[in-house]
C-alpha cells in the first residue's frame, strides 16, 4: 500500500472504501475497495476530502483491513448466526433464529486487549430474535501485521478452548406446570393475580401450560404436585408464593423434598432476592432429562422486572444456570423501577 496524490491516481487500485457523507441524504461508500480510479472519478474523490489516496501495493507480512476482519469474524461466529459482507473493514453478525446469546468474555478480552482490532457485542445471556444484530468486528488501521493477527487468534482460541466467542442457543419447546400456593388464594380470600403474570411471561417463548394447581400452605401437597407434573411431562415447574422465612412459607422445603438439586435459595437481585432455582434429574424409559424447578416470591407478581426475567431465557434455551452465575448478577442486579420500563435496553442484569 502506498500514498499518492489524488490528481495522479488515474489507473490506481483503491485499497479501501471511500465514504461519502451528505447530512440527511447518504452515508455510504462512493467507491469500493478494488475500484480502478478513472479520470472522471478524481473530482468526486476531491469533493469528499481525499486529496491523497492509499492505493494497493501488497506488502509481505501485512494484511489489509478486510483480510484481518475475516479473521476476527471467524473467531466470533458460532452457531445460528449469519454474517454480513465485509465493508470498510467491518463485518457484522446477526441471529438466524430466536434464542439466547452467549458471549465468552475471556475470548473477547483476549482479542480486544491486543489493540488495533476490536470486537463489540451486545450483552450475553439475553434473548435475541431472528435478525437481531449481535456483534461487529473491525481492524482500526488500514493494514495490520499478519503476525499480530495470528497471535490474537491463538490467544482467543486458548481462552475459549477452541470454541467461537459467540453462540446462539435456540429456545426449546417447553411444557410448563404452575403451582400457586397460599391459604389466601386457596380459600378464595383473594383473587389469584400471580398465575396470569407467569402465563404472560411464558407466552413470550415456545411453551405450553400443561397443568396448574392451587394449594394451601402445605409443603407435602406442593412436593407431590411437582412430582406429578414432572410425571406428566413438565420440563419446567414454577411455584408461586411461600418463599419468605415466615413459618407458613414452605415452598423451599417442598422443592427440596422432591430430591431436586437446589442451585441457590436467594440471589443478589432486587426485586427477587428470595428466588429459588433447582434442577430435578428424571430417568424415563432409559433416558434422562432435566427439569427446572423455580420458586418465585411475590415481587414477580407486581414488579415490572425481576430475577425471573433474567433466568427464564436461559432455562428456555437449556442453558444451565449455576450458583456462580447467580452470584455474578450482583453488579447490575438492582432494578431502578424506572417510570417507563425499557428492559432489556437498560443496565438491569448486565453485570460483570
Domain with residue 28: its CATH number is: 3.90.105.10
pLDDT band of 110, cuts 50, 70, 90: very high
Domain identity same for 99 and 153: yes
Domain identity same for 265 and 183: yes
> Looking at residue 29, what is its pLDDT?
80
> Looking at residue 288, what is its pLDDT?
94
pLDDT in tens, 211-221: 999 999 999 99
Domain identity same for 10 and 103: no
> Looking at residue 57, what is its pLDDT?
73
- Flag whether pLDDT at 131 surpasses 90: yes
Does 342 reside within a domain?
no
Helices 65-76 + 146-160 axis angle, to 10: 10
> Looking at residue 163, what is its pLDDT?
97
C-alpha dihedral (46, 50, 52, 58), degrees to nearest 10: -120
3-state DSSP assignment of residue 164: coil
Residues of the chain with pLDDT > 90: what percent? 74
> Looking at residue 244, what is its pLDDT?
82
- Name the nearest CA neighbour of 237 among 288, 184, 279, 186: 279
Q: What is the mean pLDDT of the chain?
A: 93
Domain identity same for 144 and 18: no
CATH code of the domain containing 131: 3.90.1150
48-86: burial string, b at 16+ Cβ within 10 Å, e else: eebeebbbeeeeeebbbbbbbbbbbbebbbbebbebeeb
> Looking at residue 220, what is its pLDDT?
96
**What average pLDDT does this structure show over 264-271?**
96
Domain identity same for 22 and 83: no
pLDDT in tens, 272-329: 999 999 999 999 888 999 999 999 999 999 999 999 999 999 999 999 999 999 999 9
pLDDT band of 352, cuts 50, 70, 90: low
Last residue of a domain, one of 18, 38, 55: 55
Domain identity same for 217 and 237: yes
pLDDT in tens, 8-58: 888 887 877 888 777 777 677 888 776 788 999 999 889 888 998 878 777
C-alpha torsion sign, points 201, 202, 203, 209: negative
Domain that holds residue 43: 2-55
Q: Where are the alpha helices (DSSP H) in the chain?
A: 41-47, 65-76, 105-112, 146-160, 183-186, 195-202, 219-231, 251-256, 299-302, 307-316, 323-327
> Looking at residue 20, what is its pLDDT?
78
Does 341 reside within a domain?
no
Domain count, the chain: 3
Residues of the chain with pLDDT > 70: what percent? 98
Amino acid at each position: 500500500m502506498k500514498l499518492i496524490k489524488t490528481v495522479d491516481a488515474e489507473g490506481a487500485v483503491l485499497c479501501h472504501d471511500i465514504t461519502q457523507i451528505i447530512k440527511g441524504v447518504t452515508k455510504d461508500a462512493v467507491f469500493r475497495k478494488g475500484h480502478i480510479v478513472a479520470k472522471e472519478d478524481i473530482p468526486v474523490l476531491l469533493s469528499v476530502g481525499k486529496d491523497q489516496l492509499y492505493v494497493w501495493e501488497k506488502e509481505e507480512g501485512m494484511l489489509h483491513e478486510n483480510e484481518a476482519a475475516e479473521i476476527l469474524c471467524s473467531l466470533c461466529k458460532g452457531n445460528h448466526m449469519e454474517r454480513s459482507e465485509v465493508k470498510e473493514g467491518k463485518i457484522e453478525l446477526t441471529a438466524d433464529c430466536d434464542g439466547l446469546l452467549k458471549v465468552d468474555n475471556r475470548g473477547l478480552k483476549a482479542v480486544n486487549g491486543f489493540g488495533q482490532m476490536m470486537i463489540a457485542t451486545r450483552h450475553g445471556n439475553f434473548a435475541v430474535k431472528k435478525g437481531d444484530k449481535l456483534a461487529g468486528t473491525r481492524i482500526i488501521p488500514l493494514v495490520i501485521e499478519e503476525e499480530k493477527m495470528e497471535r490474537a487468534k491463538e490467544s482467543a482460541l486458548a481462552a475459549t478452548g477452541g470454541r467461537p466467542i459467540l453462540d446462539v442457543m435456540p429456545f426449546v419447546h417447553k411444557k410448563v406446570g404452575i403451582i400457586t400456593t397460599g391459604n389466601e388464594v386457596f380459600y378464595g380470600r383473594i383473587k389469584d393475580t400471580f398465575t396470569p403474570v407467569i402465563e404472560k411471561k411464558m407466552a413470550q417463548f415456545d411453551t405450553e401450560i400443561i397443568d396448574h394447581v392451587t394449594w394451601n400452605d402445605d409443603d407435602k401437597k406442593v412436593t407431590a404436585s411437582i412430582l406429578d407434573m414432572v410425571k406428566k411431562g413438565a420440563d419446567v415447574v414454577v411455584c408461586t408464593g411461600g418463599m419468605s422465612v415466615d413459618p407458613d412459607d414452605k415452598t423451599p422445603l417442598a422443592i427440596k423434598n422432591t430430591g431436586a438439586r437446589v442451585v441457590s435459595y436467594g440471589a443478589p437481585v432486587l426485586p427477587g432476592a428470595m428466588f429459588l432455582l433447582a434442577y430435578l434429574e428424571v430417568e424415563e424409559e432409559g433416558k434422562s432429562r432435566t427439569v427446572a424447578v423455580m420458586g418465585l416470591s411475590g415481587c414477580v407478581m407486581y414488579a415490572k422486572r425481576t430475577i425471573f426475567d433474567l433466568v427464564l431465557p436461559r432455562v428456555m434455551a437449556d442453558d444451565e444456570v449455576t450458583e456462580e452465575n447467580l452470584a455474578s448478577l450482583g453488579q447490575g442486579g438492582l432494578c431502578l423501577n424506572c417510570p417507563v420500563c425499557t428492559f432489556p435496553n437498560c443496565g438491569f442484569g448486565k453485570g460483570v
